[in-house]
Chains A and B, each alone.
Chain A
Amino acid sequence: DTAVSQTPKYLVTQMGNDKSIKCEQNLGHDTMYWYKQDSKKFLKIMFSYNNKELIINETVPNRFSPKSPDKAHLNLHINSLELGDSAVYFCASSQDFLGHEQFFGPGTRLTVL
């Protein structure tokens, strides 16, 4: 059983396109996160949702819009993709907002051409 799953695993697209990445967790956790890992493997938090409510929004361009239809899902929609958006995007979840053990998904490698 996959605890945190993401689709797609790979995404190759042209500049200017709009794309979405989906994330689902079956752990019953209340809190979900999106992270970006750049080419130098630096992992940086983008968003955090607790019970479908946005609680952390780092300085991310507003082309990135997270959506949480329920607490088991946190999707990431990206408008007008740019070359600099190329990275691996990880979804994660934790039991609650103060849960210090985060479970990460396998990542989505986004390549913008």
Chain B
Amino acid sequence: EDQVTQSPEALRLQEGESSSLNCSYTVSGLRGLFWYRQDPGKGPEFLFTLYSAGEEKEKERLKATLTKKESFLHITAPKPEDSATYLCAARNRDDKIIFGKGTRLHILP
């Protein structure tokens, strides 16, 4: 069965302390790996799509990378406003989108 697993479940960092969030996937015929940000009480907000191993995308302090088994969301010098839940999702060969359970990130000022 296709699966997306995110780790850690929760992460607390000091402002400026860089780190990475992990997304491991077991998906038949990956057709896209997505990262979303979700703030409390709101819908997920799209960040990145990655299609093939070796691909990287950046946006401000965030960089997403992809290998054949996992994706990382690197956060460089985070600020308190980066606090949110980060969701990873994968689309399989049947175009079904499977979400992970998310990583709750808290950046302390």
B-binding residues in A (CB < 8 A):
4, 40-45, 56, 58, 90, 92, 97-98, 100-107
State which of B43, B95, B101 has its C-beta within 8 Å of the C-beta of A42. Answer: B101
**In the complex, A110 Cα to B34 Cα: how many Å?**
27
Task: Flag if B43 contacts A56 (CB, 8 Å).
Answer: no
Task: Flag if A56 contacts B95 (CB, 8 Å).
Answer: yes
Task: Flag if A103 contacts B95 (CB, 8 Å).
Answer: no
Bitwise interface map of B from 25 to 48 toward A, beta carbon under 8 Å scored 1, else 0: 000000010100010011111100
- Which residues of chain B have C-beta atoms less than 8 A from A107's C-beta? 41-43
Query: Is B96 engaged at the interface, CB distance under 8 Å to the other chain?
Result: yes
Residue of A nearest to B42 (CB): A106
- Which residues of chain B have C-beta atoms less than 8 A from A42's C-beta? 99, 101
Task: Flag if B99 contacts A4 (CB, 8 Å).
Answer: no
Within the complex, the shortest CB–CB distance from B2 to chain A, in Å, comes to: 12
A-B Cβ contacts below 8 A, count: 45
Task: Flag if A98 contacts B95 (CB, 8 Å).
Answer: yes
**In the complex, A40 Cα to B99 Cα: how many Å?**
13
Residue of B nearest to A38 (CB): B101
Query: Is B102 engaged at the interface, CB distance under 8 Å to the other chain?
Result: yes
Query: Is B97 engaged at the interface, CB distance under 8 Å to the other chain?
Result: yes
- Which residues of chain B have C-beta atoms less than 8 A from A106's C-beta? 41-43
Within the complex, the shortest CB–CB distance from B16 to chain A, in Å, comes to: 27
**In the complex, A102 Cα to B44 Cα: how many Å?**
9
Task: Flag if B95 contacts A100 (CB, 8 Å).
Answer: no
Task: Flag if B101 contacts A40 (CB, 8 Å).
Answer: yes
Bitwise interface map of B from 57 to 96 toward A, beta carbon under 8 Å scored 1, else 0: 0000000000000000000000000000101010100011
**In the complex, A106 Cα to B44 Cα: how many Å?**
8
- Which residues of chain A have C-beta atoms less than 8 A from B43's C-beta? 4, 90, 92, 104-107
State which of A41, A56, A102 has its C-beta within 8 Å of the C-beta of B96. Answer: A56
